[in-house]
Amino acid sequence: MEKRLSKISQTLIPSPIQELSHLAQRCGAINLAEGFPDFAAPAYIKNAAVSAINSDLNQYRHVQGICDLLATRMKSSHGLDIDPDTNIVICCGQTEAFAATMFAIIDRGDEVLILDPAFETYETCIRLAGGVPVYVPLDPPHWALNVDRLRKSFTSRTKALVLNSPHNPTGKVFSMEELEAIAGACCEMDCFAVTDEVYEYITFDAKKHISLASLPGMQERTIITSSLSKTFSVTGWRIGWSCALANIASAIRNIHVKITDSAPAPFQEAALTALKSAPAYFQSLKQDYERKRDYIVDVLASLGLQIRFKPQGSFFVFTELPETWLLSDLLNNYSAKCQFSAAR
């Protein structure tokens, strides 16, 4: 019966991240593999979800208020003029938003540039859409963007570039100079930029997230994907979104509706409460994660692991393994990645 499977499905392997998480669950171990915290989501957001369930808001649903709030936030944070009625698509987490985006813009044989190392889902979604992932390595240990290498990676077949900042798995926040180089290349080559901005509120040491879409000439070619998951510690709720020009957003919406119809209704309602959170919440989030970052960096260093780059954002630290290390970490032979949202 295996011959009846699609060729692409036969090339996919289980996620090492999820395999490690499942192993941690079975063994009762501390899980440093997958990107979620070991502390509770804010009570007022959980109460909003419970209230929605008890109010019988449990059927297929589109909560337009989410789009209205996101448009307001994008204007205040990045200066972007967003039409909440036509430019935003609510999806089942950032992962579905990214997948639907790939299905909307990629034709068979189109190339998509991925800055490497990268979150494993990007490659799979690109390949499922018929595209060809093209990796552009960042330079360790500070994961700098080599602009010459980036420009040489573009070809006549390049359709899009994927940018994740703050970055999983390195913790890098791309600088304005790097963003300008990326924007310039995308404009010159007339290609899309697809951004993953799920860690936008988790930055450290006065670093600030800058959306690529806010740079000159980029809003019309950038598709922003993000979610509620990391900012509000609700990774299992699966509330995310894509933001793009109306015609692109319409294509993404049509694909989303055909695949999942709608995101979970009660959690959409709770998203209204989450997105109205006071500025003090976001400041506290940054401070708590910065403290956890400092703690885990010190612990790893005390164990003999070399850390030549202190994370600037997200909740991952990429640590260089000793030369005497004999085992592969399955994710990358150069470094070991762990998330520090579980650090005390």
Q: Which of 260, 198, 203 is nearest to 233 (CA)?
A: 198
**339: pLDDT confidence band, cut at 50, 70 and 90?**
low
**Is residue 132 scored above 90 in pLDDT?**
yes
- In this structure, of 24-28, 84-88, 338-342, the range with the lowest mean pLDDT score is 338-342
Per-residue pLDDT of 177-191, as tens digits, reads 999 999 999 999 999
**Is residue 255 scored above 70 in pLDDT?**
yes
Listed in sequence order, the residues at least 6 apart from 344 whose beta carbon sits closer than 8 Å to its beta carbon are 292, 295
> How far is 196 from 211, CA to CA, in rounded Å?
10
Calculate mean pLDDT across residues 307-326.
Answer: 87
The pLDDT value recorded for residue 91 is: 98
Kindly list the distances between the CA atom of residue 123 and the CA atoms of 109, 111, 119, 134, 169, in Å, as whole numbers in the listed order.
14, 11, 8, 9, 15
Residue 150, both tokens: 């980036």
The pLDDT value recorded for residue 327 is: 75
Number of other residues whose CB lies within 10 A of the CB of residue 174: 25
> How far is 291 from 45, CA to CA, in rounded Å?
23
Question: Higher pLDDT residue, 22 or 290?
Answer: 290
Tell me the average pLDDT of the chain.
93
Contact 136, 149 (CB under 8 A): yes
Calculate mean pLDDT across residues 135-142.
Answer: 96
**Is residue 20 scored above 60 in pLDDT?**
yes
Contact 102, 129 (CB under 8 A): yes
Per-residue pLDDT of 95-123, as tens digits, reads 999 999 999 999 999 999 999 999 999 99
**Is residue 19 scored above 90 in pLDDT?**
no
Per-residue pLDDT of 191-248, as tens digits, reads 999 999 999 999 999 999 999 999 999 999 999 999 999 999 999 999 999 999 999 9
**Is residue 54 scored above 60 in pLDDT?**
yes
> How far is 117 from 112, CA to CA, in rounded Å?
15
Residue 336 backbone dihedrals phi, psi, to 5 degrees: -110, 135
> How far is 190 from 144, CA to CA, in rounded Å?
24
**33: pLDDT confidence band, cut at 50, 70 and 90?**
confident
The pLDDT value recorded for residue 332 is: 44
The pLDDT value recorded for residue 306 is: 86
The 8 Å CB, 24+ separation contacts for 281-289 are 281/42, 282/201, 282/231, 285/201, 285/202, 285/231, 286/201, 286/202, 286/203, 286/204, 289/202, 289/204, 289/315, 289/340, 289/341
Work out the burial of residue 84: count CB atoms within 10 Å of its CB; fewer than 13 is exposed, 13-18 middle, 19 or more buried. Answer: middle
Residue 167, both tokens: 């970055």
The pLDDT value recorded for residue 25 is: 84
**Is residue 329 scored above 90 in pLDDT?**
no
Domain residue spans of the chain: 1-34, 44-276
Run of H or E including 288: helix 279-302
DSSP string, 192-261: EEEEE-TTTT-B-TT-----GGGSTTTGGGEEEEEESHHHHT-TTT--EEEE--HHHHHHHHHHHHHHTS
**23: pLDDT confidence band, cut at 50, 70 and 90?**
confident
The CATH number of 44-276 is 3.40.640.10
DSSP string, 118-164: --HHHHHHHHHTT-EEEEEE-BTTTTB--HHHHHHH--TTEEEEEEE
**Is residue 283 scored above 80 in pLDDT?**
yes
Number of other residues whose CB lies within 10 A of the CB of residue 158: 20
The pLDDT value recorded for residue 333 is: 38
pTM for the full model?
A: 0.93
Work out the burial of residue 188: count CB atoms within 10 Å of its CB; fewer than 13 is exposed, 13-18 middle, 19 or more buried. Answer: exposed
